[in-house]
Amino acid sequence: MYSTPFVINEAGETEYFQRVPFGSGFKESWLQNRLFENPQSLPLGEIDPAYQQICPLCIEMNTGAGPIDVVYITPQGRLVIVETKLWRNPDARRKVVGQILDYAKELTNWSFSDLQREVSRRTGIKGNAPYKLLSQHIKDIDEAAFVDGVSQSLKHGDFMLIIAGDGIRKDAQGIVQFLQDAGNMRFVLALIETAVYKHTQKEYFIIQPRTLLKTQTIDRSVDYTYNSENPEGTADSDNNGTGWRQEYREFWRRFLNKLSLDDPDQPIANPVSLGNLTFSLPPSGATAWITTFFYKRNKEVGCYVRLIKKPLGRELYQALAEDVDDIEADLPFPVDWDEERQMIHRSMNVEGE
């Protein structure tokens, strides 16, 4: 719980501030702008020392997964993605979980020139906008090393993901578990609660960010059987793969609109511009997940359950294998069991359909 802050004015009098909840005294966009203007207020260095110094790049940066609320960058080229959200109901929680992952996944398809282009569009700065913005805050940055660092960060998904808002204490651990579902990425995740207080008589505000929960760096490479890169092996006419990415997103949009899950607490993913869509499973997406896919080149669709190659994953796979008869009796189609990869999968050809 937060206590009530106060200040002592020049006359030695006490002036109090009252807590202002989201939705009554201000909007998400107000908090978004305040955090962008004051990056030093976020305790990122406490979460991970690699993010001790950050520079604001832009707000509402466009991506194929939608606009990112706030984007910062470190002198080493690591990106910080911030989502500011209201937390009125469980559905809002599930949506922001899927959304911030979609942003991160989308950025792993970017090159430095993609980032440069979008930052330039938002700021109006020509040329190497990220480097120019960083140079205004931090001196003696080697441009070539910075560009290389950003490129590596994008390639490996080496980001910090921040969900900032009020009232996110409930189910915080569950949110983190669902965010483990990020194959082929390396990131740090933190939930930051931002309490806002207003002076009882004046238009003065205090914003108090605090780290509610953080993860260790998640570093793993999920061996997806079906690669979601351009399945046709050729670039689209726009040289950016926009055509096939839009096809993927539209396909998953239609798929998700018709999807019905037995578990009402299972987060529904957002449509992505990739050939596979992944759902985390308990105990966390870092241990077990279901991936559904369509593979354009081979005209193949399917899905698989995968378990991580660690003791817990092997234990869970063996437990499933012991119930193979009951599991297969409940399924409307045969499945293949791959003990080496700890994977249960099913696919089919859709030639001509």
Domain count, the chain: 2
Quick one: 204 and 253 in the same domain?
no
Please identify, among 219, 236, 271, the residue that sits at the C-terminal boundary of a domain. Answer: 219
Please identify, among 186, 219, 252, the residue that sits at the C-terminal boundary of a domain. Answer: 219
Q: How many helical (H) and strand (E) elements, i.e. helices and strands, does the chain have? A: 10, 14
Q: What does the alpha-carbon distance between residue 165 and residue 306 come to, in Å, rounded to a whole number?
A: 33
CA-nearest of 182, 190, 331, 347 to 269 is: 182
In a domain, 227, yes or no: no
Amino acid at 179: L
Quick one: 97 and 197 in the same domain?
yes
Quick one: 25 and 150 in the same domain?
yes
In a domain, 41, yes or no: yes
Amino acid at 290: I
Quick one: 213 and 251 in the same domain?
no
In a domain, 233, yes or no: no
Quick one: 196 and 318 in the same domain?
no
Alpha-carbon torsion (196, 200, 205, 208), positive or negative: negative
Quick one: 120 and 31 in the same domain?
yes
Quick one: 288 and 213 in the same domain?
no
| Model pLDDT, residue 275 | 78
> For residue range 19-32, what is the model confidence (pLDDT) as tens digits?
876 666 667 788 88
Q: What does the alpha-carbon distance between residue 353 and residue 347 come to, in Å, rounded to a whole number?
A: 15
- Give the structural domain span for 333: 244-349
| Model pLDDT, residue 10 | 86
In a domain, 80, yes or no: yes
| Model pLDDT, residue 58 | 96
Quick one: 102 and 145 in the same domain?
yes
| Model pLDDT, residue 267 | 66
Quick one: 196 and 299 in the same domain?
no
Quick one: 203 and 273 in the same domain?
no
Quick one: 102 and 249 in the same domain?
no
In a domain, 234, yes or no: no
Query: How crowded is residue 86: how many other Cβ atoms within 10 Å of its Cβ?
Result: 17
| Model pLDDT, residue 197 | 82
User: pTM for the full model?
Assistant: 0.57
269 Cβ partners below 8 Å, 6+ apart? 98, 102, 252, 256, 277, 278, 279
Quick one: 51 and 156 in the same domain?
yes
In a domain, 328, yes or no: yes
In a domain, 82, yes or no: yes
Residue 269: burial class (beta carbons within 10 Å; 0-12, 13-18, 19+): buried
In a domain, 333, yes or no: yes
Ranges of residues in the chain with a pLDDT under 50 are 171, 173, 180-184, 216-240, 353
Please identify, among 173, 202, 219, the residue that sits at the C-terminal boundary of a domain. Answer: 219
Query: Is 182:157 a contact under the CB 8 Å cutoff?
Result: yes
| Model pLDDT, residue 230 | 36
CA-nearest of 314, 317, 69, 279 to 180 is: 279
| DSSP per-residue codes, 83-138 | EEE--SSHHHHHHHHHHHHHHHHHHTT--HHHHHHHHHHHH---SSHHHHHHHHHS
| Model pLDDT, residue 42 | 86
> For residue range 224-266, what is the model confidence (pLDDT) as tens digits?
333 333 333 333 334 445 566 678 778 888 888 888 877 766 6
